[in-house]
Amino acid sequence: MKKILIIRFSSIGDIVLTTPVVRCLKQQLGAEIHYLTKQQFLPLLEANPHIDRIFTIKKNVSEVLPDLRSEGYDHVVDLHKNLRTLQVRLGLLGGAKWRSFDKLNFEKWLLTALKINRLPKVHIVDRYLAAASLLGIKNDGQGLDFFTSEPHLSSPIPYPPYLAVAIGAQFQTKRLPTAKIVKICQQLHQPVVLLGGNEEAAEGEIIAAQSGNHVTNLCGKLSLQASAEVLRRASLVITHDTGMMHIAAAFQQKILSIWGNTVPALGMAPYYGTANPDQNTSFEVEGLSCRPCSKIGHQTCPKGHFRCMNEQDIEKIVRQATL
């Protein structure tokens, strides 16, 4: 049996996107799979039956290097490829065969800075899988995994059917303005559950108060596992380009994804696998010469107009949600 270490330190969506690699290595090779990530992202992985052991760090890889060295890995699959993973590679003192993926940073820079698209039409999941393909695995086509370990939610939610609206994102330029989320929620005629972290709790209260009694704000009230369970039970998920979008895709959910400064062409659209139907509808403001302005996002629009979100067709989103 091979012993394989997979490395991805952050963030929510990126870690969920590595789960096909985890599953294929476990099921196709029967390997012992270990995973290294940041401590805050442990809830994403701890219920995954394909992972035998998880190592976490708070700040520095030196926290776990002695334990990693003692494992005697046959292979390391580096799905982050940054300074920290280089420190792990140097700290393991050889022995393990190292695989990493192509981050395509130059191609991403061409697209965001010069609007020249030289990116291959390959999803990042397939690039992750390519990094591990030399170990003898193939894409099984089953899409992403997310395993919940909280059968009971600590906060009440409406009984299905309801719509889940994930209002958050790490960067403001990935998020619809609050007033536009309110307009969407006001026009939805079935129960709506708002999802987000502590940072979105106040905004969620505003949206719920202005939208109507059919909207329940659970922002800041649920654990990550519980939020995932809400996504799993929903009849439809409306979300920005964020981690909640990828968790919803792991449940093969119908998704309406709303894109601001980022674009699906960067390779991060909802991923359903080749064996499952694509359930995503993307909403973008086409024809903007400034878009995409970043591969991740900004806290304010670099141009000041924020047209990529201010000009989103709210009526079209609502019509699609009510089909």
- For residue range 183-217, list pLDDT tens digits in order: 999 999 899 999 999 999 999 999 999 999 999 99
Query: What integer pLDDT is reported at residue 323 of this predicted model?
Result: 86
Q: What's the pLDDT tens digit per position in 88-124?
A: 999 997 789 999 999 999 999 999 999 999 999 999 9
Query: What integer pLDDT is reported at residue 171 of this predicted model?
Result: 96
Confidence class for position 29, pLDDT limits 50, 70, 90:
very high
> Would you tell me the crossing angle of helices 314-321 and 178-186 to the nearest 10 degrees?
40
Mean pLDDT computed over 304-317: 98
| Domain extent at residue 262 | 163-321
Confidence class for position 154, pLDDT limits 50, 70, 90:
low
Length of the chain counted residue by residue: 323
Give 220-227's long-range contacts (Cβ < 8 A, gap of 24+): 220/196, 221/154, 221/155, 222/153, 222/154, 222/155, 222/195, 223/43, 223/150, 223/154, 224/12, 224/43, 224/44, 225/43, 225/47, 225/148, 225/149, 225/150, 226/150, 226/153, 226/154, 226/155, 227/195
Indicate if the pLDDT at residue 153 is higher than 70: no
Q: Are residues 116 and 176 in the same domain?
A: no
Query: What integer pLDDT is reported at residue 93 of this predicted model?
Result: 75
Q: Are residues 115 and 186 in the same domain?
A: no
Mean pLDDT computed over 5-32: 98
In a domain, 151, yes or no: no
Mean pLDDT computed over 60-87: 96
Half-sphere exposure of 301 (CA within 13 A, CB side): 15
Q: Are residues 104 and 169 in the same domain?
A: no
The token duo for 223 is 């654990």
Q: Are residues 114 and 169 in the same domain?
A: no
Spatial contact of 168 and 175, defined as CB atoms under 8 Å apart: yes
Query: What integer pLDDT is reported at residue 285 of this predicted model?
Result: 98
Q: Are residues 237 and 112 in the same domain?
A: no
User: Whole-prediction pTM value?
Assistant: 0.96
Which of 87, 119, 135 is a domain's end point?
135
Half-sphere exposure of 19 (CA within 13 A, CB side): 26
In a domain, 153, yes or no: no
Spatial contact of 245 and 102, defined as CB atoms under 8 Å apart: no
CA distance 73 to 202: 46
CATH number of the CATH domain containing 122: 3.40.50.2000
What percentage of the chain carries pLDDT values higher than 90?
94
Mean pLDDT computed over 301-311: 98
Q: Are residues 169 and 313 in the same domain?
A: yes
In a domain, 18, yes or no: yes
Query: What integer pLDDT is reported at residue 149 of this predicted model?
Result: 77
Task: Provide the 8-state DSSP code for 179.
Answer: H
Three-class SS state of 267: coil
Q: Are residues 187 and 307 in the same domain?
A: yes
In a domain, 182, yes or no: yes
In a domain, 144, yes or no: no
Mean pLDDT computed over 252-264: 98
Q: Are residues 310 and 181 in the same domain?
A: yes
Q: Are residues 184 and 130 in the same domain?
A: no
Q: Are residues 7 and 96 in the same domain?
A: yes
In a domain, 99, yes or no: yes
Indicate if the pLDDT at residue 12 is higher than 90: yes
In a domain, 158, yes or no: no
Residue 255, strand partner residues: 237, 280
The token duo for 200 is 């979105």
Query: What integer pLDDT is reported at residue 307 of this predicted model?
Result: 98
DSSP per residue, 82-93: SHHHHHHHHHTT
In a domain, 157, yes or no: no
Indicate if the pLDDT at residue 150 is higher than 70: no
Overall domain count for the chain: 2
